[in-house]
């Protein structure tokens, strides 16, 4: 399941359009879609085929996309250097993880820690619940803040006001 967060090109009024287009292409890849065909990329981004090919060729040259030579693309090894960095920058810490785990043990529900980004919320940490039926929230994906998702908060994970 891929969550559509909108095209980056629509969000960067006055920004660099070619960068926004490259980000639009990169955002098409996720756990459920580790590979994309050129046809899918063109259809999902709305880019002209020639533009999509140029963006993909640039990303391939930078090691951020792998061209399988059959019009199929996947993320390149260039992303690996950012994986550990992102994990360390956004790690919530052992104390927060313990509180999250206790909440899961108590209520059986999945527990997320969110940050706010503009009008969206982004899960930066998750401990999956034990319930058979549960809402699926992907870490790092923006969701509308006004979503109908249930919200539970605990003073145990809120910063102290002292």
Count Cβ atoms below 10 Å from residue 68 Cβ, excluding itself: 10
pLDDT of residue 12: 61
Report the helix count and the strand count for the chain, using DSSP H and E.
5, 6
- Can you give the residue ranges of every domain in the chain? 8-79, 91-144
Predicted TM-score (pTM) of the model is: 0.68
Q: Which CATH architecture has domain 8-79?
A: Orthogonal Bundle (1.10)
pLDDT of residue 16: 87
H/E stretch holding 74: strand 72-75
In this prediction, the residues of the chain whose per-residue pLDDT falls under 70 are 1-14, 146-162
pLDDT of residue 3: 43
pLDDT of residue 6: 61
* Cβ-contact 20, 8 below 8 angstroms: yes
């Amino acid at each position: 399941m891929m969550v559509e967060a909108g095209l980056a090109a629509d969000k960067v009024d006055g920004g660099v359009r070619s960068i926004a287009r490259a980000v639009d292409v990169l955002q098409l890849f996720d756990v459920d879609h580790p590979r994309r065909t050129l046809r899918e990329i063109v259809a999902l981004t709305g880019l002209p085929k020639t533009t999509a090919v140029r963006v993909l060729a640039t990303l391939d040259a930078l090691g951020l996309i792998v061209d399988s030579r059959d019009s199929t693309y996947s993320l390149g090894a260039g992303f690996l250097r950012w994986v550990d960095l992102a994990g360390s920058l956004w790690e919530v810490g052992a104390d927060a993880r313990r509180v999250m785990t206790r909440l899961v043990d108590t209520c059986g529900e999945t527990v997320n820690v969110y940050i706010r980004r503009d009008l969206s919320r982004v899960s930066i940490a998750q401990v999956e619940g034990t319930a058979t039926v549960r809402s699926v929230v992907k870490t790092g994906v923006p969701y509308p803040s006004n979503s109908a998702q249930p919200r539970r908060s605990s003073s145990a994970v809120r910063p102290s006001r002292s």
